[in-house]
Amino acid sequence: MLSAQYLHHVVPDLMSPQLPTRLRVKVLNTGDEAWPCSEVEPHRVYLAAWVNGLPAAAGYFAHADIAPGQSAEASIELTPPNELGSFILKIGLVQQDIAYFEDHGVDPLVFEPRIASRRLFEGNGAATLVPRYRFDVVNVRLPPSVAPGILFGLRLKLRNTGAMTWESADHRKRLVSATLTIDGLQVAGSVLPSSVPPGGIIDFQLTVSAPDRPGRHQALVGLVHESVTAFSAQVPAAAIEINVRSEARSETSRLHEIARLPA
């Protein structure tokens, strides 16, 4: 039986016309048979992308096969349309010459990215193929679990992979701040402590208010160019997981306990 779950994806909301863009999708085999994925396999399983209903690109898994219960990630190199405005992007699993997973009840991923003028992809006054607003999470350090409602330290190491220098509090023209959102609510934010040029790395700590409800919560790390735009207009926010343990919360711990990470 062909069955799957899409676990994670990286698909920019904003793309540049005809500029090749890498999309990433992670999937889980929830069926009862292994998926053949080798390039020599005539009926290999792969990811396909359609733009406005037409086949546009494909992405292949590095695994020879993907067993039931196993997850894997594939990249798709997509060349966006040349026309400005929105378009419909569909990504779904296919078993070559056999079936579309969509026909077996696995809903595809559907997005509506926007094609913007290349002027939005210019950095520091010169035309470039690198978007201005882009970053990678190099490392995240946080406690394995936290009590409900307390304040705790979350240490982030970010790399500037965009074309614009991120300025700190001393440079108002390009002031960049970091935010953390949990369950749709912003729970932390801070101006970056120092400037970060393209390719540079910054290491800093946010003080975060833990959710009151025990369990695992998705947190989104984002950056904001103050008074201009959120980086999420061009790249998705980075997702991390915060585990809130089950225990009674005291008002004292909520107001005063801060779980700090080692320096």
Please state the domain extents for the chain. 4-116, 135-259
Which one has a higher pLDDT value, 139 or 256?
A: 139
Strands (E), 44-120: 45-51, 54-59, 65-66, 71-78, 85-86, 89-95, 99-100, 109-111, 114-115
Q: What is the mean pLDDT of residues 169-178?
A: 70
Reported as a single tens digit per residue, the pLDDT across 186-204 is 888 888 888 888 888 999 8
Q: What is the pLDDT of residue 3?
A: 95
CATH 1.10.3430.10 fits 4-116, yes or no: no
- As a residue count, the chain comes to 263
Q: Write out pLDDT tens, residues 77-97.
A: 898 888 888 899 999 999 998
Res 230: pLDDT: 84
Locate 210 and state its tokens: 């833990």
Sole residue written with tokens 């026309």: 83
User: Which residues have a Cβ under 8 Å from the Cβ of 228 and sit 6 or more positions away?
Assistant: none
The pLDDT > 70 percentage for the chain reads: 86
- Tell me the average pLDDT of the chain: 83
- Per CATH, the number for 135-259 is 2.60.40.10
Fold: same for 4-116 and 135-259? yes
Please check the confidence at residue 110 and state whether its pLDDT lies above 90: yes
Say what percent of the chain tops pLDDT 90. 38
User: pLDDT-based confidence at 172, cuts 50/70/90?
Assistant: low
> What is the DSSP code (8-state) at residue 189?
E
Question: Which pLDDT score is estimated for 163?
Answer: 77
pLDDT for 257: 41
The band of 130, judged by pLDDT with boundaries at 50, 70 and 90, is low
pLDDT digit string (tens) for 7-65? 988 888 878 787 888 899 999 999 999 999 998 888 999 999 999 999 999 999 988 89
Question: In the prediction, which pLDDT does 171 show?
Answer: 54
Q: What is the value of pTM for the model shown?
A: 0.49
Map tokens 């006054």 to a residue. 125
Kindly indicate the confidence band of residue 214, based on its pLDDT and cuts at 50, 70 and 90: very high
185 Cβ contact partners less than 8 Å away, ≥ 6 residues apart:
none
What does the pLDDT read at residue 94? 95
Supply 8's token pair: 């994670």
What pLDDT, on the 0 to 100 scale, is given for residue 250?
A: 46
Predicted confidence at residue 125, as pLDDT, reads 42
Round to whole Å and give the CA distance between 110 and 3: 18
The 10 Å Cβ neighbour count of residue 44 is: 20
